[in-house]
Amino acid sequence: MSNPSLLILPGDGIGPEVMAEVRKIITWFGDKRGITFDVSEDLVGGCAYDAHGVPLTDETMAKAQEVDAVLLGAVGGPKYDSLDFSVKPERGLLRLRKEMDLFSNLRPAQCFDALADFSSLKKNVVAGLDIMIIRELTSGVYFGEPRGIIREGNERVGINTQRYTESEIARVARSAFEMARKRSNKVCSMEKANVMESGILWREVVQEIHDAEYPDVELSHMYADAGAMQLTRWPKQFDVIVTDNLFGDLLSDLAAMLTGSLGMLPSASLGAPMANGRPKALYEPVHGSAPDIAGQEKANPCACILSFAMALRYSFDLGDEATRLEAAVEKVLADGVRTADLLNEEGVTPATTSQMGDAVVAALDASL
């Protein structure tokens, strides 16, 4: 039986640095747990443009379609701001999501006890927070047509189209309800049905799927702007939130900061099942490429490490090992190991990116 396959796309900025720490974790699983992966590596984003003139080559796209999972670092940076929109680094990531049909984006927002003081909210509001935002990822305003910048009379007009079909809404709704059944059996669907026809359809379809297939799950509806307010007022009222592409982008970043640092948050983008029954999948940290600290060993690798933990759980059926890795990260934080983004004390030297990765490996050793 062949090993599970993993395509690593480190990308730009701090991507290669945080991915190097994930490679330590992969090596540890092979050496200490006998769990090995067929790992390949390629380019995406600005580095792919530098090498090939496009942010993602057809060959790399083909590889992504063939492997069991893709693990991505980050893309983009000011170096590429002047490029034509069609070849900006982010287009490589959007192509991966679209052509792999990764319609369900899982963004957990979990506040580790050791980091509760780092949130901008009061500790009692965020301590123990554990919510899952499920964002529709392959449709909506980021992909709808017509789009572009046109000229009307003497001025330019920017056009983007919010478009959703019933089937696109239904499949991400099912993803949310299935996830809720594994958690607290509660879903809140967020849209703008008060001012958008796409929001009206979204609410109707989510309700229909619930009534016909998941009546055991508690379902509520909320306008997305009210949802943003409630996330900052009392986030623990939520468990699973399901929403569209644009609102999911905004709400998941808002929820991310409730936990104290973007450097701690992973994500998974899942599609339809492959022949082996597992979903097509891409895993990536929520944070960006942070070009201002690239190459300085300041980046926090935990979000990328935890993204690999999500891959263990959702792509490789290694839930116990995923829990082991997540517990190792939590132990490192509880022991006071901190990268620069997690320090609020003066005079304390932060751990480097590689030191944080080494500490996680040491915690994994201690778990045996």
Q: Is 225 a catalytic site residue?
A: yes
Residue 211 is inside which H or E element, if any?
helix 197-213
Q: Is 145 annotated as a binding residue?
A: no
Q: Is 192 a catalytic site residue?
A: yes
Please tell me which residue in 50, 101, 130, 225 is annotated as part of the active site: 225
Which phi and psi (to 5°) does residue 350 adopt? Answer: -75, 155
Q: Is 107 annotated as a binding residue?
A: yes
Report the candidate in 241, 245, 221 with the shortest Cα–Cα distance to residue 231. Answer: 241
Q: Is 25 annotated as a binding residue?
A: no
Please tell me which residue in 12, 192, 244, 314 is annotated as part of the active site: 192
Please report how many Cα atoms fall inside a 13 Å half-sphere around the Cα of residue 89, on the Cβ side: 27
Q: Is 294 annotated as a binding residue?
A: yes
Q: Is 58 annotated as a binding residue?
A: no
Secondary structure percentages of the chain, helix, strand, coil, to 5: 50, 20, 30
Distance (Å, rounded) from C-alpha 45 to C-alpha 50? 9
Please tell me which residue in 249, 283, 314, 331 is annotated as part of the active site: 249
Please tell me which residue in 50, 101, 239, 253 is annotated as part of the active site: 253
Q: Which amino acid would we find at residue 118?
A: F
Q: How many Cβ atoms are within 10 Å of 217's Cβ, its own excluded?
A: 18
Q: Is 80 annotated as a binding residue?
A: yes
Q: Is 98 a catalytic site residue?
A: no
Q: Is 66 annotated as a binding residue?
A: no
Please tell me which residue in 142, 214, 283, 314 is annotated as part of the active site: 142
Q: Is 12 a catalytic site residue?
A: no
Q: Is 84 annotated as a binding residue?
A: yes
Q: Is 341 annotated as a binding residue?
A: no
Distance (Å, rounded) from C-alpha 45 to C-alpha 78? 12
143-151 CB contacts, 8 Å cutoff, 24+ apart: 143/98, 143/245
Query: Which sign does the torsion angle of CA 210, 194, 233, 300 carry?
Result: positive
Distance (Å, rounded) from C-alpha 293 to C-alpha 330? 24
Q: Is 38 a catalytic site residue?
A: no
Contact 359, 319 (CB under 8 A): no
Q: Is 293 annotated as a binding residue?
A: yes
Q: Is 89 annotated as a binding residue?
A: yes
Q: Is 24 annotated as a binding residue?
A: no
Contact 4, 38 (CB under 8 A): yes
Q: Is 53 annotated as a binding residue?
A: no
Which residue is associated with the tokens 């047509």? 145
Q: Is 225 annotated as a binding residue?
A: yes
Q: Is 79 annotated as a binding residue?
A: yes
Q: Is 31 annotated as a binding residue?
A: no
Q: Is 216 annotated as a binding residue?
A: no
**3-class SS at 344?**
coil
Report the candidate in 41, 40, 28 with the shortest Cα–Cα distance to residue 3. Answer: 40
Q: Is 62 annotated as a binding residue?
A: no
Q: Is 298 annotated as a binding residue?
A: yes
What's the length of the chain?
368
Q: Is 288 annotated as a binding residue?
A: yes
Q: How many Cβ atoms are within 10 Å of 95's Cβ, its own excluded?
A: 18
The residues facing 107 across adjacent strands are 133
Distance (Å, rounded) from C-alpha 359 to C-alpha 79? 33
Q: Which residues are annotated as a binding site for NAD(+)?
A: 77-90, 288-300
Q: Which residues are annotated as a binding site for Mg(2+)?
A: 225, 249, 253
Catalytic residue IDs: 142, 192, 225, 249, 253
Q: Which residues are annotated as a binding site?
A: 77-90, 97, 107, 135, 225, 249, 253, 288-300
